């Protein structure tokens, strides 16, 4: 394990795990969640970080000091680390990680041209009936993943950068097909994550997107005793989303009119009617400041039956 390696990880848990296993090299932790809020293609620019801070401040009440200490300082540290023999990216199979991953690769394309870049991506593991995150791998599995890391070609890096540009564009429509046409891509979990991303636009059926419907359905089916238990159930069964507890608490708060109680959790009549597609909440939830990547969330509708996005023209 070479000290001239730069490891860029998906989170502090992975960084700490690798250090505990005595992986040599330098570490950068990518502390972002680019699957949420507005993004721009110019990763690392002043405009990019201003856009991201505005989102975190308005949606999660993150202070400028916290944003600087947790995210910007780590990014600035990344900028100072140059001329490594290899850059190893450690990311997982879910939507949260995959969007962060293509953003990091876009940055590497721009600022680390010509350097060797490899990818370790956890997901399907032999002997497991579910995909596993990096923190769920045992020591032997981590070493095996590292040993079998994939070196990214120039074309791979160009492809990831192109998908990032589409994710940041003002229309998500090209993502419906373009990410399906690279069967040789080493990004084997990107297709599923982008498909789930498109389902995050409000559905024609009831105005809720795939995540919001998942929250309401889980509340109805599991009858949790508290909001914390509801979030625990969501985290346990979310599969490809990869969201954290703060994201779910935030989204539940936006849907509070669909609940009569959170202790225990009970749906309101409106919540049940929405779940049964008898009520459509599109107009109630519409927010022109809500973005998914570069696209306005409520400028598009997802049609579940045909798995298609439709642009709203008026």
Together in a domain, 95 and 187: yes
| Average pLDDT of span 94-118 | 97
* pLDDT tier, 313 (very low <50, low <70, confident <90, very high otherwise): confident
| Average pLDDT of span 69-79 | 97
In a domain, 200, yes or no: no
Nearest to 117 by CA among 133, 101, 97, 131: 101
Supply the pLDDT for residue 183: 67
Supply the pLDDT for residue 184: 73
Rounded to whole angstroms, the Cα distance separating 112 from 281 reads 46
Q: How many domains does the chain have?
A: 2
Rounded to whole angstroms, the Cα distance separating 300 from 64 reads 32
Rounded to whole angstroms, the Cα distance separating 10 from 20 reads 16
Does 180 have pLDDT greater than 80? no
Supply the pLDDT for residue 242: 96
Together in a domain, 246 and 100: no
| Structure tokens given for 202 | 């409000």
In a domain, 205, yes or no: no
Dihedral pair phi/psi, residue 123, rounded to 5°? 175, -105
pLDDT tens for each residue of 12-25: 999 999 999 999 99
Show which of 141, 160, 191 is a domain's final residue: 191
| Structure tokens given for 94 | 């879910």
CATH classification of the domain holding 75: 3.40.1360.10
In a domain, 197, yes or no: no
Together in a domain, 243 and 289: yes
Asked if residue 264 has a cis previous peptide bond (ω within 30° of 0), the answer is yes
In a domain, 118, yes or no: yes
Together in a domain, 149 and 80: yes
Rounded to whole angstroms, the Cα distance separating 35 from 314 reads 26
Together in a domain, 105 and 170: yes
Together in a domain, 181 and 35: yes
CB 300 within 8 A of CB 312: yes
Together in a domain, 65 and 168: yes
76 by DSSP, 3-state: which?
helix
254 by DSSP, 3-state: which?
helix
Show which of 148, 164, 191 is a domain's final residue: 191
Does 275 have pLDDT greater than 60? yes
In a domain, 196, yes or no: no
Provide the Cα torsion 257, 262, 264, 266; round to 10°: 10
DSSP labels, 268-296: -HHHHHHHTTSS--HHHH--TT-EEETEE
Show which of 144, 161, 191 is a domain's final residue: 191
Most confident of 173-177, 185-189, 263-267: 263-267
Together in a domain, 219 and 154: no
Rounded to whole angstroms, the Cα distance separating 91 from 120 reads 6
Supply the pLDDT for residue 91: 98
Does 254 have pLDDT greater than 90? yes
In a domain, 202, yes or no: no
In a domain, 201, yes or no: no
Together in a domain, 85 and 52: yes
Together in a domain, 123 and 266: no
Check residues 121 and 3 and name the one with the higher pLDDT. Answer: 121
Rounded to whole angstroms, the Cα distance separating 122 from 5 reads 19
Together in a domain, 87 and 171: yes
Its domain, for residue 219, covers: 210-311
Rounded to whole angstroms, the Cα distance separating 55 from 170 reads 17
- The CA distances from residue 268 to 124, 260, 265, in Å, are 39, 5, 10
195 by DSSP, 3-state: which?
helix
β-pair type (26-29, 5-9): parallel
Share of the chain above pLDDT 90, in %: 93
| Average pLDDT of span 60-84 | 96
Q: Please list, in sequence order, all residues whose beta carbon lies within 8 angstroms of the beta carbon of residue 302, skipping any fewer than 6 positions away.
A: 198, 199, 200, 201, 202, 203, 204, 209, 210, 308, 309, 310
Lowest mean pLDDT among 1-5, 50-54, 71-75: 1-5
In a domain, 237, yes or no: yes
CB 61 within 8 A of CB 67: no
Q: Note the pTM of the prediction, 2 decimals.
A: 0.96
Together in a domain, 136 and 25: yes
Supply the pLDDT for residue 1: 44
Rounded to whole angstroms, the Cα distance separating 89 from 26 reads 12
The region that residue 266 occupies, defined by phi over 0 for left and psi between -120 and 50 for alpha, beta otherwise, is beta
| Structure tokens given for 245 | 């507890």
């Amino acid at each position: 394990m070479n000290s001239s390696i730069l490891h860029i990880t998906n989170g502090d848990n992975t960084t700490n795990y690798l250090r505990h296993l005595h992986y040599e090299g330098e570490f950068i932790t990518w502390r972002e969640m680019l699957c949420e809020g507005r993004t721009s293609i110019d990763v690392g620019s002043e405009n990019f970080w201003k856009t991201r801070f505005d989102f975190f401040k308005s949606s999660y009440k993150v202070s400028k000091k916290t944003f600087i200490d947790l995210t910007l300082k780590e990014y600035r540290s990344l900028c100072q680390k140059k001329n490594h023999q290899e850059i190893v990216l450690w990311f997982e199979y879910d939507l949260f990680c995959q969007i962060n991953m293509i953003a990091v690769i876009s940055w590497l394309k721009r600022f680390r041209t010509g350097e060797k870049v490899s990818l370790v991506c956890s997901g399907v593991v032999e002997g497991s009936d579910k995909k596993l995150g990096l923190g769920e791998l045992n020591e032997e599995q981590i070493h095996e993943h590292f040993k079998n890391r994939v070196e990214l070609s120039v074309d791979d890096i160009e492809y990831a950068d192109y998908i990032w540009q589409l994710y940041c564009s003002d229309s998500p429509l090209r993502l419906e097909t373009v990410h399906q046409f690279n069967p040789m891509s080493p990004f084997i979990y990107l297709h599923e994550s982008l498909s789930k991303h498109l389902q995050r636009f409000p559905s024609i059926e009831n105005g809720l997107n795939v995540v919001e419907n998942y929250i309401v359905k889980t509340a109805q089916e599991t009858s949790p005793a508290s909001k914390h238990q509801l979030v625990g159930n969501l985290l346990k069964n979310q599969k490809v989303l990869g969201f954290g507890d703060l994201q779910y608490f935030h989204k539940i708060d936006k849907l509070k009119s669909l609940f009569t109680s959170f202790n225990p959790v009970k749906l309101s009549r409106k919540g049940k009617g929405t779940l049964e597609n008898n009520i459509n909440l599109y107009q109630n939830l519409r927010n022109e400041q809500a973005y998914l990547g570069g696209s306005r969330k409520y400028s598009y509708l997802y049609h579940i039956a045909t798995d298609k996005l439709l642009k709203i023209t008026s």
